[in-house]
């Protein structure tokens, strides 16, 4: 495992287990997993389908509770957080990029981004201005008023990335961000995610099995059968 | 806000990002998102609005018919111009029953504070038709020259026609039913030849239409003894206290009942609502309208949540709390309610305007117009509970599936 002692572990997972179901149908998706990510690091989680990588991402994103283990995000024990504390933790700490983009269909590109900012307490005018600035950063400044249905897959993922980095959350989690994009666009979008995260100082964890983008990772963590099998750079 | 790069920065950032903007800002955000979601799916919007409009129109139509029916049965009391009524002791509605002795009239006329008192005859009569057969009318005898108690709403002829011998005034809408009546037509009423001297408009209670005759003529037609009448109408002198006069009068006519016009009005309403079952019947159909509206709105909102379940999951994943999404649903349900009420009430107003005939009238007071949007906001809020239950159960982790 590569340790970067000069940088703090902003994501620190120890002995993490997750069991779905109970009794005879119980399925252990994660088994005693230890994982960390450092400030500003770009980490990829790879592995076959059903290996547990999305479960790990979900727990890091505070959208899923672990069965056992410790999860610390930015010195905050999120595994022990109360259920009603989780939305605020997600809002404050995490930006998400989803495989299916998950934009709100009725909101324009600008409004999709501004929504997150307003939830974080930004005034509407400031949120709109920031959203337009972010659309410029992801290379589609002219699409502010477009609805998701009027955008291409690549453009939608750019909006999703702008939404994820809006308000500069310290942790970005991306689930198969290239799965619905062609090879060239997928690479472009991932490079953009990495560059923007670096510019904003965010730590990024990407779940992917797209080997065309592996070279962009600072570290690749390979998961199989609910256990971390290999860590490589 | 710059992103954290060291542990201390991280601690600061974590502490700052509490995700608790002011309620006003959350509300504005949810209003905006909720409204956009609503108007994005126009088919769903139309379906849900249909439910609200259906409930608004059906309930107000039922209430309007009901109030119209009630007003038809109380209009006589409201138009008679009497402050007090002397009625038989067991009176519950405005129908001929046990007679009031004429002594009550004289007692009334000599009671301090009484400006005037007049007898009123009420009873059933039969009009023989030229082609054979007969039609019933409610015969009302009012005393000349003041004609307290009617007729009113005269559309042809004049009340003074009743001063002519053997003359009556009939209801205009009954002209065909009574064999093609015209001014000057002659009909047999209770076997006595009677001339038509005028027509009223809309004096149709929930009983045979009113037909007016001068008091003595009516008494002759009904064969009422001269020492009896149906009711006594009393006017209170200016400056006199109505309730005090009523008490004094009641003491003098203890075998009968003295009611103020509003009391008599309420008594008739109570009778109609409780004894006749009209209240229960109309109440049931009004509730049915509300229930159907509730079900349509409820299912539409639930289906909108199901259709957009991924979006709600995303909203949860990016930090919306259940109470934010409840706010969003509340905004949506309120907009559905207010928009549906606006359209529905416009339709109801058109119905009230155009469905006005002597036989049928929708009566809707301003309270119905003002109360409907409030009721619908409550109803739609209730309808959104089903959708809210579904939203509460959405796992934000679904966004990764």
Using CB atoms, which residue from A40, A92, A201 is nearest to B18? Answer: A92
CA distance A58 to chain B (A): 6
pLDDT truncated to tens, each residue of chain A (233 aa)? 344 445 668 899 999 999 998 888 889 999 999 999 999 999 999 999 889 999 999 999 999 999 999 999 998 889 888 888 899 899 889 999 988 889 999 999 999 999 999 998 899 999 999 999 999 989 999 999 999 999 999 999 999 999 999 999 999 999 999 888 888 888 998 999 999 888 888 999 999 988 899 999 999 999 999 999 887 87
Dist. CA A217–CA A204, nearest whole Å: 9
CA distance B6 to chain A (A): 7
Residues of B in Cβ contact (< 8 Å) with A93: 14, 17
CA distance B383 to chain A (A): 23
The nearest alpha carbon in chain B to A201 belongs to B3
CA distance A99 to chain B (A): 8
Query: Using the beta-carbon criterion (under 8 Å), do B7 and A8 form an inter-chain contact?
Result: yes
Looking at the structure of chain A, the number of domains it has is 1
Q: Are B87 and B255 in contact (CB under 8 A)?
A: no
Q: Which residue has the tokens 């997150």?
A: A116
Helices (H) and strands (E) in chain B, counts: 11, 12
Identify the pLDDT of residue A175.
93
Assigned domain for A2 exists: no
Identify the pLDDT of residue B3.
38
Query: Using the beta-carbon criterion (under 8 Å), do B396 and A119 form an inter-chain contact?
Result: no
Q: How many contacts (CB atoms, under 8 Å) link A and B?
A: 153
Identify the pLDDT of residue B186.
92
The nearest alpha carbon in chain A to B310 belongs to A102
CA distance B24 to chain A (A): 10
Integer CA distances (angstroms), A123 to A114, A118, B123, in order: 9, 6, 75
Neighbours of B289 (CB within 10 A): 20
Using CB atoms, which residue from A58, A91, A170 is nearest to B13? Answer: A170
Residues 6+ apart with CB under 8 A from B375: B59, B290
Query: Using the beta-carbon criterion (under 8 Å), do A88 and B319 form an inter-chain contact?
Result: yes
Identify the pLDDT of residue B265.
93
Dist. CA A54–CA B41, nearest whole Å: 32
Indicate which CATH number applies to the domain containing A92.
3.40.50.300
Dist. CA B279–CA B283, nearest whole Å: 6
Identify the pLDDT of residue A3.
42
Q: Are A104 and B37 in contact (CB under 8 A)?
A: yes
Helix (H, G, I), strand (E, B) or coil at B91: coil
Identify the pLDDT of residue B21.
63
Identify the pLDDT of residue A8.
67
Query: Using the beta-carbon criterion (under 8 Å), do A106 and B39 form an inter-chain contact?
Result: yes
Q: Are A106 and A147 in contact (CB under 8 A)?
A: yes
Using CB atoms, which residue from A90, A100, A107 is nearest to B36? Answer: A107
CA distance B337 to chain A (A): 21
Identify the pLDDT of residue B8.
45
Query: Using the beta-carbon criterion (under 8 Å), do A170 and B37 form an inter-chain contact?
Result: no
Q: State the ipTM, two decimals.
A: 0.89
Integer CA distances (angstroms), B12 to A27, A106, B7, in order: 38, 35, 9
Identify the pLDDT of residue B47.
86
Residues of A in Cβ contact (< 8 Å) with B37: 104, 106
Assigned domain for A40 exists: yes
Q: Are A153 and A76 in contact (CB under 8 A)?
A: no
Identify the pLDDT of residue A1.
38
The nearest alpha carbon in chain A to B41 belongs to A106
Residues 6+ apart with CB under 8 A from B377: B333, B334, B337, B338
By residue range, what is the domain housing residue A168? 9-232
Identify from A102, A103, A208 which residue to disrupt to test chain B contact, counting B C-beta atoms within 10 A and taking the largest count. A102
Query: Using the beta-carbon criterion (under 8 Å), do B319 and A87 form an inter-chain contact?
Result: yes
The nearest alpha carbon in chain B to A112 belongs to B33
pLDDT truncated to tens, each residue of chain B (401 aa)? 343 344 444 434 443 444 456 788 888 899 999 999 989 988 888 988 888 898 888 888 888 888 888 888 888 999 888 999 999 988 888 887 788 999 999 999 999 999 999 999 999 999 999 888 899 999 999 998 989 987 999 999 999 999 999 999 999 989 998 988 999 999 999 999 999 999 999 888 878 899 999 999 999 999 999 999 999 999 999 999 999 999 999 999 988 999 999 999 999 888 888 887 777 887 788 788 778 878 887 888 888 888 888 889 999 999 899 989 999 988 888 998 999 999 999 999 998 888 777 777 788 889 989 998 998 888 888 888 888 888 888 888 888 77
Query: Using the beta-carbon criterion (under 8 Å), do B3 and A168 form an inter-chain contact?
Result: yes
Dist. CA A37–CA B88, nearest whole Å: 94
């Amino acid at each position: 495992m590569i340790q970067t002692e000069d940088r703090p572990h902003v994501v620190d997972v120890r002995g993490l287990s997750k069991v779905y179901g109970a009794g005879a149908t119980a399925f252990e998706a994660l088994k005693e997993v230890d994982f960390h990510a450092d400030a500003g690091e770009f980490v990829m989680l790879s592995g076959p389908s059903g290996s547990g990588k999305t479960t790990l991402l979900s727990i890091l994103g505070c959208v899923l509770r672990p069965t056992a283990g410790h999860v610390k995000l930015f010195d905050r024990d999120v595994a022990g957080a109360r259920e009603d504390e989780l939305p605020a933790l997600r809002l404050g700490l995490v930006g998400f990029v989803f495989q299916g983009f998950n934009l709100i269909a009725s909101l324009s590109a600008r409004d999709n981004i501004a929504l997150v900012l307003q939830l974080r307490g930004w005034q509407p005018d400031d949120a709109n201005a920031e959203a337009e600035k972010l659309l410029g950063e992801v290379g589609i400044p002219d699409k502010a008023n477009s609805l998701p249905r009027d955008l291409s897959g690549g453009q939608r993922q750019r909006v999703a990335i702008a939404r994820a980095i809006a308000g500069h959350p310290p942790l970005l989690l991306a689930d198969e961000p290239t799965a619905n994009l062609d090879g060239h666009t997928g690479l472009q979008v991932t490079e953009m995610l990495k560059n923007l995260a670096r510019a904003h100082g965010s730590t990024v964890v990407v779940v992917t099995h797209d080997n065309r983008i592996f070279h962009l990772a600072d570290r690749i963590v390979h998961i199989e059968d609910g256990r971390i099998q290999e860590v490589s750079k | 806000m710059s992103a954290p790069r060291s542990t201390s920065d991280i601690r600061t950032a974590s502490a700052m990002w509490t995700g608790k903007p002011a309620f006003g800002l959350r509300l504005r955000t949810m209003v905006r998102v909720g409204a956009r979601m609503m108007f994005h799916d126009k088919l769903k919007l139309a379906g849900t609005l249909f439910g609200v409009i259906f409930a608004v129109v059906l309930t107000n139509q039922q209430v309007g018919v009901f109030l119209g029916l009630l007003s038809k049965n109380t209009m006589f009391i409201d138009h008679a111009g009497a402050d007090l009524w002397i009625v038989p002791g067991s009176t519950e509605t405005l129908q001929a029953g046990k007679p009031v002795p004429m002594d009550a009239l004289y007692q009334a006329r000599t009671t301090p504070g009484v400006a005037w008192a007049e007898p009123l005859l009420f009873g059933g009569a039969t009009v023989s038709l030229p082609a054979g057969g007969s039609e019933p009318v409610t015969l009302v005898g009012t005393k000349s020259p003041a004609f307290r108690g009617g007729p009113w709403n005269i559309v042809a002829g004049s009340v003074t026609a009743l001063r002519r011998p053997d003359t009556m005034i009939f209801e205009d809408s009954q002209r065909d039913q009574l064999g093609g009546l015209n001014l000057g037509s002659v009909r047999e009423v209770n076997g006595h030849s009677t001339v038509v001297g005028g027509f009223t408009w809309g004096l149709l209670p929930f009983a045979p239409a009113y037909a007016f005759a001068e008091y003595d003529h009516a008494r002759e037609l009904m064969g009422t003894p001269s020492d009896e009448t149906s009711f006594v109408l009393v006017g209170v002198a200016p400056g006199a206290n109505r309730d005090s006069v009523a008490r004094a009068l009641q003491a003098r006519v203890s075998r009968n009942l003295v009611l103020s016009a509003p009391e008599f009005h309420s008594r008739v309403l109570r009778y109609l609502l409780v004894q006749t079952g009209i209240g229960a019947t109309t109440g049931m159909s009004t509730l049915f309208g509300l229930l159907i509206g509730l079900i349509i709105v409820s299912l539409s909102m639930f289906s909108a949540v199901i259709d957009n379940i991924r979006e709600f999951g995303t909203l949860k994943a990016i930090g919306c709390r259940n109470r934010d999404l409840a706010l969003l649903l509340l905004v949506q349900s309120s907009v559905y309610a207010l928009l549906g009420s606006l359209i529905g009430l416009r339709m109801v107003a058109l119905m009230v305007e155009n469905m006005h005939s002597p036989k049928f009238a929708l009566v809707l007071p301003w309270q119905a117009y003002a109360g409907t949007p409030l009721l619908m906001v409550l109803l739609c809020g209730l309808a959104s509970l089903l959708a809210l239950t579904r939203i509460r159960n959405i796992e934000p982790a679904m966004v990764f599936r």
